[in-house]
Amino acid sequence: MQPRNLDIVVLSDLHLGTYGAHADELSNYLNSINPQMIILNGDIIDMWQFSKSYFPASHFGVLQILIEKMNRGSKIIYLTGNHDDLLRKFSDLRLGNLEIRDKLTLRINGKNYWFFHGDVFDVSVNYAKWIARLGGKGYDLLIRINRLINRILKKYGKPPKSFSKKIKNNIKNAVKFISDFEKTAAELAIENDFDYVVCGHIHSAGIRKIKNSEGQVIYMNSGDWVESLTALEYRGGRWILYDYLKQEIPSYQDLRPATIIEEVYSLI
């Protein structure tokens, strides 16, 4: 099957270098698409948990595919996240078709977009970083245990369970009164006249309209490649949330004749 031509793909929270990363599935997905622009929206290589003893060939394979796509003309914009925050010292670096940024503002077909990872809104990261790092290690261990349990469940014909997602959701609910991630991102985007705000970080994929008394914005999150295995795809004026686990090929119909992408420096 020929790779699908896309204008833009947004991926986040790959967490390469951890046991939770689905590198093989991600390689399959990347080989199935031919995008003009790839936006890597943070936590691509997990530098918090990086270990010389664990970075398997499949994880290197993902990086190799990205480099090959870049060499064939795809523009790659790497937006830094909290797990790869060491790269923030190289922000605004440009090497051929590769750029490293902390955030990105684009005008796509006349609409203003704000792309950033989103950890700036996470109280647990900004005010208790050592707790967040400890939580990351525990999360990776829980993913490994969860996969072992699911292999046993599959052997006995039982449906898989996601203990890590259940625990994570409970933690997010506990701190919701302090930091409502999506609401905060949307309010700031509306305040700064953006039509779309695109994040990662919370491992919760989705596309939805958020309104307040000042206006409205389309909030989008590309999810992750630890549990949800999702990406945001844009082609000819339409955004789709691609779900690898469903193995459904998106249908793009009623496409606009061209996608015009302009970088905007005057916004936030």
CATH number (3.60.21.10, 2.170.120.30, 3.40.640.10, 3.10.180.10) of 4-263 reads 3.60.21.10
Q: What are the domain boundaries of the chain?
A: 4-263
**pLDDT at site 149:** 73
Give me the residues of the chain with pLDDT under 50, please.
124-125, 127-135, 172, 174-175, 177-179
Q: Kindly report the CA angle at 99 between 127 and 35, in degrees rounded to 5?
A: 110
**pLDDT at site 129:** 47
Q: How far is CA 2 from CA 46, 109, 205, in A?
A: 31, 27, 26
Residues 101, 89: Cα–Cα separation, whole Å: 10
For the chain, give the percent of residues with pLDDT over 70. Answer: 77
**pLDDT at site 143:** 65
Length of the chain: 268
Start-end of H helices in the chain: 23-31, 57-71, 123-126, 129-155, 163-174, 181-191
**pLDDT at site 193:** 95
Residues 205, 158: Cα–Cα separation, whole Å: 26
pLDDT digits (tens, 9 = 90+) for 170-224: 554 534 533 478 888 999 999 999 999 999 998 889 999 999 999 999 999 999 9
